[in-house]
Amino acid sequence: MTESLPLSRRTVVTALGAAGFVALPAWPETARAADGPASAADGPVLDTHPATEPSGTHVREVGGTHVVFQYGAVLPAFDGWRTREPTREYLSLDRKWRFRFDPGQHGLGEGWQSPDLDDRAWDLIDVPSAWDLLDTPGFGSETTPFGKGTAFADGYAWYRTVVDVPGSWRARHVRIAFLAAGYSAEVWLDGVHLGKHEGANSAFALPVAGALRPGTRQTIAVRVFRRASYTDYTAPAPQPVTDDHEIPYKPVDYWPYAGLTRSVWIEAVPRVTIAKLLVAGANGRVEARAVIENHGASDFDGRLTLDPGRDSGARPTVVEARIAARSAGVVRVSVPVPRAPRWSPASPHTLTARATLTAGKPSGPRVDTLSTVYGVRKLTVGDARLRLNDKPLFLKGLNWHEETAARGRAMTPAEYDRELGHITALGGNFIRNCVYNRHPYVYDWADEHGVLVMDDIDTMWLNTAQEKLQTERYGLARAQALTMAWNQHNHPSVSSGGSRTSRRSTPAVLRSTGPGSPISRRP
């Protein structure tokens, strides 16, 4: 059933309510920590690995849409680092944390994850930042001594901070979001292990239902690991340290910054929540799919209102939204926007779509909102030509790495503006994110400045056996590819994704999501 809001003319729209839903994946409310690090008898420490990559990233078809799940929930939107939805509460954890290296791997056994630990003698470190720059004088200069300082501190290090959890969060779904943690991170809340993440440059969010105690002060502890690149950095012929389960699995040709290098926050959302809003604009229409989670014990029967944006030429549209308890569903809306401006490098017009979930009728109480920036554009390839909005497009740009001497990979918006500004100053219209995902600020900047992006993951130099390990058995490459496509879906600037491996693995990963999947970024 489709309803029109009171308008001067009837909105012409093809819209469907939730065509189906699936139960939320089974996931332990409290995960189990690794028993302890694995290491060679006389060599550098290697991290522990479960049978498959630890986030449980996978795709399920929900109402005709392929949805990415992680840690037993829909992989949510990560706009909380810059936006504040009125129906949600946010607690930024960008601050100074207690910090200590753990070269002897004693932290787990000594209870460094416990809220009862006295950590007042620990050092302090900024979050976000890279521990490489904590004590490596002149790291970014050509004359600094090589092989000395915290830039060469590998293995495990611990972060701790305390939070006052509002009592109002008893009726909320709460998650801790990390934009990046390099290379791997295990997270505890008051000594309860929430989960582990691998991959230094992808965002992740851990639900905290099994450990949350609203109305109290709680301790967050994070154990971060970085594998050594070489057994001895100063040796005349250093021996590389490898681990087939990691991506990348061996030393790389860029610096592997370590620590909580991007923003961290806690987000409290309604138990019935819009986890992700997928939007694509092309051929005079906006296709939107709102992925809704119901973490409550009762079925939800309400409405979803989609506003395609002030400059779209279309009015808000209302559709039914019915989601069973403990389930995820998809509400689809298709709206004609024949007068919406198109996005291109010459005219980078963007729009903001907003989805609003209400209980019962459209005039019922507001439950949740989620907005996203998108663009209307048509990208095609034919006759050996790339066309944007039916016009030939010539790409000119560069590869780049995300770092500055002052902040490493924990860059500030001003640093991004300065570094990315070189692209437009040179007349470029294209960047390749070699060879890892960037901070969300980069994709927003590209949308606003008309620069197309080829996104990338860290899958480099794999042999055939490693490709099979990372796509079929352990699955970390597959998880990273899915996460990349899902997170960057709405950006008109993002034109493709890839990796520096042979092309046998990544396309197979994306094809596994199924034809017509919104995460495959069809032209």
pLDDT digit string (tens) for 502-523? 332 333 333 333 323 333 322 2
Is-contact 288 279, C-beta < 8 A?
Answer: yes
**First and final C-alpha spacing in the chain:** 30
C-alpha distances out from residue 483 to 41, 56, 400, Å: 36, 12, 21
The answer to pTM > 0.95 is: no
Q: Are 484 and 437 in contact (CB under 8 A)?
A: yes
Per-residue pLDDT tens digits for 50-79: 999 999 999 999 989 999 999 999 999 999
Kindly report the average pLDDT of the chain as a whole number: 89
| Cα–Cα dist 380/310, whole Å | 27
CB count within 10 Å of CB 324 equals 16
Predicted pLDDT of residue 5? 36
Share of the chain above pLDDT 90, in %: 79
d(CA 220, CA 163): 8
Task: Tell me which DSSP letter residue 293 carries.
Answer: E
Across the strands, what pairs with 124?
A: 98
State the Cα–Cα distance between residues 437 and 187, nearest whole angstrom. 22
Token code pair at residue 482:
């899915």
Tell me the Cα Rg of the chain: 23
Considering only CA atoms, which of 155, 315, 347 is closest in space to residue 243? 155
The residue among 295 and 19 whose pLDDT is bigger is 295
Give the Cα separation of 433 and 430 in Å (integer): 10
